[in-house]
Structure 1
Amino acid sequence: MKWAITNQKTAEPVHLKTQGTILLEQQVEHMLVAVEHELRRSPAGVDELGLIKRLQKPPWRLIGAVQFHDPVQLYPVHFLLFHVLYRLWDMLAETGESVCISPLSIRIEQPVTGTTNGLPGTRDHLRDFYLDLSQYELPGDSIQQMMNDFWAGYRHTIPDDTDTLHAARALGFDSVPDTFSTVKQAFRRRVMQAHPDRGGDTKSIQLLNEAFATLKTHFSRTLERI
């Protein structure tokens, strides 16, 4: 498994931590779109391991190999997935939807009349825990290595200007956008449009995913030059 996590207690420059945080946030944004798409494909719900396995396969390939029996290896994947799920819950609340979050059943659902989206008691503590990315506890260089290994998709070369422009055009831009936030908004919109219920297919989503991975790498490289 390509986690590249070490136990070295070396001092890390502030700019590396900042870059690592931004890289992790980019990965979260990519997973937000992928998870929402997969949950809408399965309105009856899917369990946690099933969702992880979907994110490991085409068209996403956002998670590398995981030894599911090893808690040390499973924890980072579990934590990031649940962080994404709670972020998705907050995002969908704006449209009146909510997310049922449980290791055995994860699904998007409409709120029942007379109830609220708030989480009572211990569930509030869980939400706070998973939304706190400091609980992920990975140094910036480890995050960078994960991006290089497999999390940025399955591209293992640095995109040149032509690759980057083609990726931007695949997401509907005439040129490469100035900000990553603009890219992620377009990516989510295009993936929603490519949903099978709207006449889309897996191949279309794979092409969009490749384009987003290319632009994600482009903006990551831009950060390195700052």
Structure 2
Amino acid sequence: MAAMNTPAPSARPDQSPISRDQLAWLEQQADHLQVAAEHELRAAGASGLTELALIRALQSPRWQLIEPVTFSDPTALYPVHFLLFHALYRLQSELAQASETLVISPLRLCILTTGSGSTRALPAEEDPLRSFYLDLYRYFLSGHDIRGMMERFLAGVTLAGSPEDVQEAAQVLGFDTLPGDFDTVKQRFRRRVMQAHPDRGGRTEDIQELNRAFSVLKRHFTRQ
């Protein structure tokens, strides 16, 4: 199988229709990703994995499904992110039939048994995020649309801020419990970003995870 960020056959120019060959190629990629992602998430157990950890696992010699990707470039990361989440939402539908829930949140991906400590609802067809990722045509967004979407995401616009997401975000920033005010969150966020800076031995991926956590908490405190 070709690695996931290899261009699809006859990559379409803007404004031209998507061919059947392109859709078939994407479906094949998604099939492989779905199998591999389920294996990795089951191995991780209830603690689950972050999206970045799952991507790294799928890049490993065991799978070799994703080529190296520049995480700081939204237009390079988007095709990888989109097709992975397309596969995850398909897997979520299949697991629901077996009384299992695939939790898909900004900070954690994990498989839980429905009714055994899981408060997550089964997939809802009207979920706009779910509908977005299940539409393979969204794979072909323009660079302009991708950058705009990422800006809105980092601003917290698309985050639902469920109690589970908020608690996980607090833990990513190093809190045992959710702070009582947003100023405390901002101070901790700045300190953690400085510690994770590449000039100090950190990784861009770590800063992105901190950004996601900060966005969840920002959205939470804005709604209060």
TM range (shorter): 0.5 to 0.7
Residues paired across the two proteins, number: 133
| Residues 32/7 of structure 1: CA separation in 2 closer, same or farther (3 Å cut) | closer
1:46 is matched with which residue: 32, 46, 49?
49
Give the whole-Å Cα distance in 2 for the aligned partners of 1:35 and 1:52: 9
Tell me which residue corresponds to 2:85.
Answer: 82
Deviation at 1:116, TM superposition (A): 4.0
* TM superposition shift of 1:9: 4.7
Compute the TM-score of the two structures, normalised by the length of structure 1. Answer: 0.52
Counterpart Cα distance in 1 of 2:7 and 2:135: 22
Residue 23 of structure 1: aligned partner: 25
CA positional deviation for 1:3: 4.1
**Partner secondary structure for residue 42 of structure 1:** helix
Distance in 2 (alpha carbons) for counterparts of 1:132 and 1:119:
15
Indicate how the Cα distance of structure 1 residues 92 and 132 shifts in structure 2: closer, same or farther if over 3 A, else same: same
What's the CA shift for 1:94? 1.2
Residue identity opposite 2:21 in structure 1:
Q
Matched, 1:70 2:83: no
In structure 2, the partner of 1:117 is: 122
Q: Is the 2:125–2:131 contact (alpha carbons within 8 Å) kept by the matching residues of 1?
A: no
Q: d(CA) in 2 for partners of 1:115 and 1:54?
A: 25
- Structure 2 vs 1, CA of residues 115 and 58 (structure 1 numbering), >3 Å: closer, same or farther? closer
In 2: Cα distance, 1:118 partner to 1:21 partner: 24
Asked if the contact 1:48/1:102 (under 8 Å) is kept, the reply is no
CA contact 2:59–2:68 (8 Å) conserved in 1? yes
**TM-score normalized with structure 2 length:** 0.53
Residues 93/63 of structure 1: CA separation in 2 closer, same or farther (3 Å cut): same
Q: How does 1:31-180 map to 2 (within 5 A)?
A: 31-43=33-45, 44-112=47-115, 116-119=121-124, 124-137=127-140
2:128 is paired with a residue whose SS is helix
CA distance in 1, matches of 2:53, 2:20: 32
